[in-house]
Amino acid sequence: MSNKGSRKGGKGSLAASGKVGKGKNSRGKAGGRTRGPKGSRDKPRKLDKTSLDDDLDAYMLKDKKAGTTKLNEDLDDYFKQGKEKKEQEVKEKEDEATEAK
């Protein structure tokens, strides 16, 4: 066996002798795994109502039956809210008219 080191990592290995490193007289760790520049990491996206709604719709529309059910429910809710809002406005106008007398 030579004094320069073996591949298996025993007493005579380069890593054990401290001869593996980045510089001529380097002692310490052999170079670590690099993962690219810090700026290249994906930043988490900001979660807001519209992005969450879009993600939910995309997920729900994968299955055609579930997607149509969800869309029908959303349309029913939308028209129900519009009808309730209109009824409330009519009531307010009636109340204003009775108070004016």
For 49-81, the pLDDT digits (tens) are 999 988 888 887 788 888 888 889 989 999 999
**Assessment of whether the complete model's pTM goes beyond 0.85:** no
User: What would you report as the CA-atom Rg of the chain, rounded to the nearest whole angstrom?
Assistant: 35
The domain segmentation of the chain, as residue ranges, is 65-101
* 46 Cβ contact partners less than 8 Å away, ≥ 6 residues apart: none
For residue 38, the model assigns a pLDDT of 65
pLDDT-derived band at 29 (thresholds 50, 70, 90) equals low
Q: Where are the alpha helices (DSSP H) in 1-101?
A: 14-17, 49-60, 64-100
Q: What is the pLDDT of residues 75-96, one digit of tens each?
A: 999 999 999 999 999 998 888 8
State the DSSP H helix or E strand holding residue 61, giving kind and residue range, or none if neither.
Answer: none
Beta-carbon contacts of 32 under 8 Å, excluding residues fewer than 6 positions away, are none
In this structure, what DSSP letter does residue 39 have?
A: G
